[in-house]
Amino acid sequence: MTLRPDRVRALAGRFAVFVAVPALTSFVPLLALPGVTSVAGASGWAAVAIGQSVGAAGAVVTELGWGLTGTVRVGRQSEAAARRLLAWSLATKSLAVLAVMPVAAGAAALLAPAHRPEAAAIAGVGALSSVNAVWFYIGRGDPRRLLLLDALPRTLCGVGSAVLLLHGAPLWIFVLGVGVPALTAPVLAVRAVGLRRTDCVGMTSRRLLQVIAMQRMALAGRAVSSVYIALPVTLVAAVAPTAVVASFAAADRLQRMILTGLQALPNTIQHWVGSSPDLTTRLTRARRACVATVLLGAVVGSGLVVLAPTVSRWLFSDSASVTRPEAVFCAGIITVVSGSRITGGVILVVLRRVRSITVSASVGACVGIVAVPVGAATHGVAGALAGTLLAELAVLGVQLDAARRGWASASARGRASGGSRGSRRP
């Protein structure tokens, strides 16, 4: 099929914005890091990193798996149905955050070596940060709203806090820099999408709990995956001294920033794959996307190996540094995660094998919860990174096997029905 020039321009424009959004959200936080380390030193940076680690894990739970199940689904819905789905998403997330925020704040306060109130606040705000409509904008192929309502507020607040920190402002300015966008995101979403009272019909406490229960499989996969995705810094903090925690957090932050920037491709792919009504087309697109994201991850990871020592010294004011051997492990993690974002977040969802995502996350968690702290205790930063890479490889391996079996099953059903099922929506 040949695309018309106007269609090509539209796709190129959408992809450009999807690139700009994670690029902004990954670059802007870097600006505040020199200020954090200059104001609070290695202990302050460790407190911030622990707060963000625990907060990210809390956000996974608060998110309730909507980014997994809703993104592909909402791409084919009518405007009214999509709006109603967003309303239920925001309502269930708001209910979940009431339970998650206090737990996240308390855990960060216990683990932080210093600046415990700030660490607790950062963790609480982190748990709140998933109460937004990011998955909705991605699924609807609406990068403009994603840019204006998510990336722009975070950019403005991030730049403002960075400037103030570099001029000697206290660490609480960093808390405000991440807290204000998290608080305003759901308000902006409600107004921009135009949610109405009719979209909330039937939202009793019982029904909300039932919807949360319906999300339990996707939530289980996300929650378990937080052990090896969001919590490595916390696991290292439990067994290693502050110096190791600070350096590991620096390496982890660099690779996470890059992975955030690389999220543009999966974001675009989710809408591209989900918009097709044909199962075979969706699977073919997803397979090609997986190869492309792995290659891109490998290239970007190689660049990190070269630049990590210099960049880390600049960003963290010599309070933490990343060596080139440590950066090699980071590059491996970036490459593997780039693949699993498609195998898990797209292919297995299309194949209706969300349970396999939970299985892969459980395997990764079992590997990570042992390998990361053991590696940190025995070989420091490099050992912890090796443990993280091992966990990610385990996840990808399980997902590839599940995708292979699911693909074979779908192909067999298609042949048995003369290809008629290939057009059914999964």
Does 356 score more than 60 pLDDT? yes
Mean pLDDT value of segment 313-342: 87
Q: Which of 349, 295, 272 is nearest to 11 (CA)?
A: 272
Q: Count CB-CB contacts under 10 A for residue 167.
A: 10
Whether 181 is in a domain gets the answer yes
The per-type count for the chain, helices as H runs and strands as E runs, is: 17, 0
Whether 388 is in a domain gets the answer yes
Q: How many domains are there within the chain?
A: 1
Model confidence, pTM: 0.69
Whether 405 is in a domain gets the answer yes
List, for residues 11-45, the tens digit of each pLDDT value: 556 666 666 666 666 667 667 777 788 788 878 88
Whether 20 is in a domain gets the answer yes
Does 333 score more than 90 pLDDT? yes
List, for residues 237-265, the tens digit of each pLDDT value: 888 887 888 889 889 888 888 887 787 77
Structure tokens at 152: 């722009």
Return the pLDDT at 1. 45
Please give the biggest Cα pair distance in the chain.
70
| Count of positions (residues) in the chain | 426
Q: What is the C-alpha separation between 225 and 202, in angstroms, rounded?
A: 32
Whether 1 is in a domain gets the answer no
Instruction: Considering only residues 421 and 58, tell me which one the structure prediction assigns the higher pLDDT.
Output: 58
Segments forming the whole domain that contains residue 386: 6-423
Return the pLDDT at 422. 42
List, for residues 281-304, the tens digit of each pLDDT value: 777 887 888 888 899 999 999 999
Instruction: Considering only residues 159 and 265, tell me which one the structure prediction assigns the higher pLDDT.
Output: 159
Q: Which residues contact 314 (CB under 8 A, 6 or more apart)?
A: 34
Q: What is the C-alpha separation between 134 and 68, in angstroms, rounded?
A: 12
Whether 398 is in a domain gets the answer yes
The string of DSSP letters for 380-401 reads HHHHHHHHHHHHHHHHHHHHHH
Return the pLDDT at 131. 92
Assign residue 418 a region: left if phi > 0, alpha if psi is -120 to 50, beta otherwise?
Answer: left
SS (H, E, C) 76-110: CCCHHHHHHHHHHHHHHHHHHHHHHHHHHHHHHHH
Assign residue 142 a region: left if phi > 0, alpha if psi is -120 to 50, beta otherwise?
Answer: beta
List, for residues 392-417, the tens digit of each pLDDT value: 999 999 999 998 888 888 777 666 65
Q: Which of 245, 224, 255 is nearest to 372 (CA)?
A: 245
Whether 17 is in a domain gets the answer yes
Q: What is the C-alpha separation between 373 and 232, in angstroms, rounded?
A: 8
